[in-house]
Chain A
Amino acid sequence: MLNIGQIEEGFVLDHIKAGQSLDIYYKLGLDKINNTVAIIKNVRSNKMGKKDILKVECDIEMLDLDVLGFIDHNITVNVVKGGVIVEKKALSLPKEITNIIKCENPRCITSIEQELPHIFVLTDPENEVYRCKYCEEKAHKFLKKY
C-alpha cells in the first residue's frame, strides 16, 4: 500500500525500474522546483522484484507525460488531489520528443549548430527505437549517470 500521506496535490510515479528514478527526476526538471520531492529507491515489488517510486508535490499540469512515456511507458502515474489518488494516467510512446536527449553522433549537424532543437522520432514502436530526425542515429535513453 502506498503511503502518500504528505502530498496534497501532485503525483506519485510508481513502478519505475529500480535505479531509474534519479534520471527521471532530472529529465522531468524536478531539480528546478522548490516543492517536496520524495525519491524512494529499491522498494520491494511483487511484480518487479525491486522498483523505484517518485512522489512530487506540485501543480499536476506541470507533468510532461511525453517525457515519461519516452523513458518508460510502463510507469504508473497516480494523480493526487486533496491527499488522495483521483486518477491513474496511462502512458504511451510519444511519436516525437524535443530536447529531452541530445544526439550523440559527432557527425550530426546538431553537433555544430547549437541552436537546433534535438528532435528524436519514434521509428520502430515495437522495439521502442527512436532516431535523430536529422542523422537517424539511434537514441540512447540512459547515457548519463548521476
Chain B
Amino acid sequence: MRHLMSPLDFTTSELDALFDLACDIEKNPKKYAHVCDGKKLATCFYEPSTRTRLSFEAAMMNLGGNVLGFSEASSSSAAKGESVSDTIRVISCYADICAMRHPKEGAPMVAASKSGIPVINAGDGGHQHPTQTLTDLLTIRNLHGKLNNFTIGLCGDLKFGRTVHSLIRALLRYEGIHFVFISPDELKIPDYIIDELKEKNATYEEVIMLDDVIDKLDILYMTRVQRERFFNEEDYVRLKNFYILTKEKMDKAKETCIVMHPLPRVNEISVEVDDDPRASYFKQAQFGVYVRMALIMTLLELEVKDA
C-alpha cells in the first residue's frame, strides 16, 4: 500500500504515468465515471481549507465514488483529544482512501504509519502540500508542453511560500530549467533553497522588479505578498505595486508565457488579466481535479481497460 506525503515520493517516471492518466481522464471523462463505484474517500481536515477539500471531493465524485469526513478539528474527535493514530484506525474501517489536512507538520505521516488505507497529505502546516505541487507540474506539462528546458519566474513572497519551495524542489529533478526569483529583499528565497539549486547545478537569478524580467519568462508563477510580512507599512506601500500583475506588465510578456497562481488571489493579479489567454490559474484549478482523480486511482491501484 502506498501513501503520498511529499511530491518527491514519486519518481519522475511514476509522475509521467500519473500525468498521462490525468490527461486521459481530461479527454475521456466518461471512461472513468464509474471506476470508483462503491468506494469512499474520507476527507479529514483538522483545519479548514475549503478549496482543497472540494477539489478532492469533486475528484472522487467524478470517479463515481462517495465522500465523507470533517472540515475542521472542532467537529472531529480530535476536539475530544483523540490522537491522529486512533482516528485513522477508525477511518480505515469506514473508507477506502483518506485525504488529511492538519495544522501540525508530520501529522499525515503519523496517520499513514497506522493506517489500513492509503493516506494523501492534503497539507500539513508549513511543511508539504504535495497535491498542489502535482497540480502545478501537470499545468506546466499540459500548457507548456514539457517539464524541461524553460525559464520560470517565481514572484512575490518567496521566503515563506511553502508552495514555491515545493515546486522548486520538484522542478530540480528536470533538465534545463532556469529560475528567476522576483521578490523584495525582505521576502527573498531562503539560503537553504539556494544551496539545493547550487548542488543540482541549476541556473538562477534574483531580481527585485517583475518589469525587468517579465519579457524572458516562459512561465510566471505569482504568489501573494502579505502586508503582515513587512516590518513597516511604508515598505509595503512602496513595494506592493511591483508585485501586482497588470495588463500593462502582461504586454511585455511573451505570447506563449503562462501565468500561474495557487489561488486564492487577493489583488496580486488584477482582474483585467483574467481574460488574457495566457492567464492559466483557473485552468490550474481544473488540472488540480484531474491530477487528484489520477492520484486516487493510482493509490487504489484501479485501472480502466480500453473498450
Contacts and interface: CB of A to CB of B under 8 A. Distances in A.
Interface of A: 105, 107-113, 115-116, 132-137
6 contacts: A107-B103, A107-B104, A109-B109, A116-B110, A132-B106, A137-B105
Given A107-B126, A136-B127, A112 B104 contact: yes
A136 B102 CA distance: 16
List the 9 closest A-B pairs by CB distance, nearest first: A134-B106, A135-B105, A109-B104, A135-B106, A109-B106, A109-B107, A107-B125, A107-B105, A108-B105
Contact of B105 (A105, A113, A115, A116): A105
Given A107-B104, A108-B104, A108-B105, A113 B110 contact: yes
B83 A134 contact: no
Interface in B76-92: 83-85
Contacts of A115: 83
Given A115-B83, A116-B110, A134-B109, 12 more contacts: A105-B105, A107-B103, A107-B126, A108-B106, A109-B109, A113-B110, A133-B109, A134-B106, A135-B106, A135-B124, A135-B127, A136-B106
Nearest to B6: A136
B106 A133 contact: yes
| Interface SS majority for chain A | loop
A26 B155 CA distance: 48
B109 A113 contact: no
Interface residues of B, number: 15
Interface in B31-83: 83
A15 B271 CA distance: 67
A111 B127 contact: no
Contacts of B125: 107, 135
Contact of B110 (A107, A111, A134): A134
Nearest to A103: B106
A103 to B, nearest CB: 9
Given A107-B125, A107-B126, A116-B110, A134 B105 contact: yes
Contacts of B84: 109, 113
A113 B83 contact: yes
Name the residue in B106, B124, B125, B127 with the highest tally of chain A Cβ atoms < 10 Å from its Cβ: B106
A132 B83 CA distance: 19
Contacts of B109: 109, 133-134
Contacts of A137: 105
B133 to A, nearest CB: 15
Nearest to A113: B83
Contacts of B103: 107
A136 B106 CA distance: 8
A111 B104 contact: yes
B175 to A, nearest CB: 24
Given A115-B83, A135-B105, A109 B126 contact: no
A136 B105 CA distance: 9
Contacts of A133: 106, 109
Contacts of A109: 84, 102, 104-107, 109-110, 124
Nearest to B102: A109
Nearest to A136: B127
A39 to B, nearest CB: 36
Interface string B124-135: 111100000000
Nearest to B110: A109
A127 to B, nearest CB: 11
Contacts of B104: 107-109, 111-112
A110 to B, nearest CB: 7
A137 to B, nearest CB: 8
Interface string B177-188: 000000000000
